[in-house]
Amino acid sequence: MVMQTLKQQIDALAAGQTTSVALVTECLAQIAAHNGQLNALVAVDAEKALAAAAAADAARAAGDTRAMLGVPLIHKDIFCHEGWKTSCGSKMLDNFIAPYSSQVAENCDAAGFVVVGRANMDEFAMGSSNENSFYGPVKNPWDKKAVPGGSSGGSAASVAAGFAAVATGTDTGGSIRQPAAFCGITGIKPTYGIVSRFGMVAYASSLDQGGPMAHTAEDCALMLNVMAGFDERDSTSLEHAKEDYTRDLNAPLSGLKIGLPREYFAEGLNAEIAGAINAAVEQYKALGATIVEISLPNTKLAIPSYYVIAPAEASSNLSRFDGVRYGHRTAKTGNLDDMYEQTRAEGFGTEVKRRIMTGAYVLSHGYYDAYYIKAQKIRRLIANDFQAAFAQCDVIMGPVTPTTAWNIGEKNADPIAVYLEDIYTLGVNLAGLPGMSVPVGFASNGHPIGLQIIGNYFAEAKMLGIAHQYQQVTDWHTKAPQL
């Protein structure tokens, strides 16, 4: 049962073919057998999970018809969940027990999910490889020498390894789509503001967005129905009418116009990835879609723009971690300034310090206009490029990353090389658009390859339907790693 999809688990529970206790027990057994190798989860509470599963079974027996009641779930360790440690992959929050729940956790609890664990992640969501965690790197279930992608690598690895059928993730510059691609699963980053950021530890507030990670597009649609919704506690939450994201799953694709950006297929793209993407596009043509060549001329400027804006926002957001109110505090004595400095020196990892310093620099007097304001102007140009493209096509398709998963430690000496892996994903966040990753094959080294689908604002249901139709005629999403 552990390698079933979310939909299969929902149907099995509704039909009385299994129980929540049985599902959770199998997930916990899978975690116990393989998490020691993968390091995908940083917290597991078997007693709490089994008690919640038993309560869910009792509620179902008493007539509770909630579809998700008793289904196992894994939360990325960035979502506050009352009573659970919420570390955000950092020593700074290693002792922090959340006193309240995020909107995402509240919604999942209300739907009846049973949380079986908390997923490892890059510290404060800063990274593309899940090597930047205080708890050590996550390993890719398809190749334990390789990274799973980041920052939601623990969530992606957990779904791929069968620890749960679905997990929550967050995406600031590709952190749902890239690990989904590297681990051979499906993941979607919704339109900015669709999923509340309340109780989601902030990295870059104008870019962060939560979303689901699962085996299939159908599962992501079901999960997004739970996660999405207006939240007055989040000033960036959109007052958007509640949607059913499953509504277009069976919509035919005849007449669909797919835009292929020439900049996404230029120098630097791995030939095997290009081949897999082209094969997927051919499959879409067979399903009735037509292809339009488009241009996103400012694609190359997404990296420098993002790596000014995101660190600037991070330097502001992370200033709250000072050792005074919560989290790590140095044991070394001294005056208040010494305490601040030593606490942050001990509590933050290398990549977080690098981004805080970069952000503080670009926001400093004399550099704000030269860097930060200019990056925001470029951000607008990138958003305009996408709108011009959507005048010609319904969705945009291309690769998620220029390469497949690299080996753990391979790029540690060159952080810029890791930043360059985000070339195809960053623009989506800068523009606030929805984007998703769908498995479309494997490279010769056995590493999964993902197709990126980008839609216009609020096009999640259409995108999920487009992905679902592809998954109805292919089986890449059904492949499972040999653990």
Using DSSP's 3-state secondary structure scheme, residue 43 falls into strand
Among 20, 87, 128, 151, the active-site one is 151
Among 76, 139, 189, 411, the active-site one is 76
Residue 203: name the closest of 84, 352, 103, 340 by CA.
352
- Is 205 labeled as catalytic in the residue annotation? no
**Torsion angle, alpha carbons of 411, 414, 417, 421, to 10:** 50
Q: Judge contact between 188 and 464, C-beta under 8 A.
A: yes
Using DSSP's 3-state secondary structure scheme, residue 260 falls into strand
- Is 315 labeled as catalytic in the residue annotation? no
Query: What would the two tokens of residue 155 be?
Result: 């969530």
- Is 151 labeled as catalytic in the residue annotation? yes
Among 129, 175, 237, 315, the active-site one is 175
User: What is 316-345 written as a DSSP string?
Assistant: HHGGG-SSSSSS---S----HHHHHHHHHH
Give the other-Cβ count within 10 Å of 365's Cβ: 6
Residue 362: name the closest of 375, 345, 344 by CA.
375
Residue matched to tokens 């509504």: 247
Using DSSP's 3-state secondary structure scheme, residue 399 falls into strand
CA 284 centroid distance within chain: 25
The Cα 350–Cα 123 span in angstroms is: 10
First-last CA distance in the chain: 16
Output helix, strand, coil percentages for the chain, rounded to the nearest 5: 45, 15, 45
User: Residues with catalytic annotation?
Assistant: 76, 151, 175
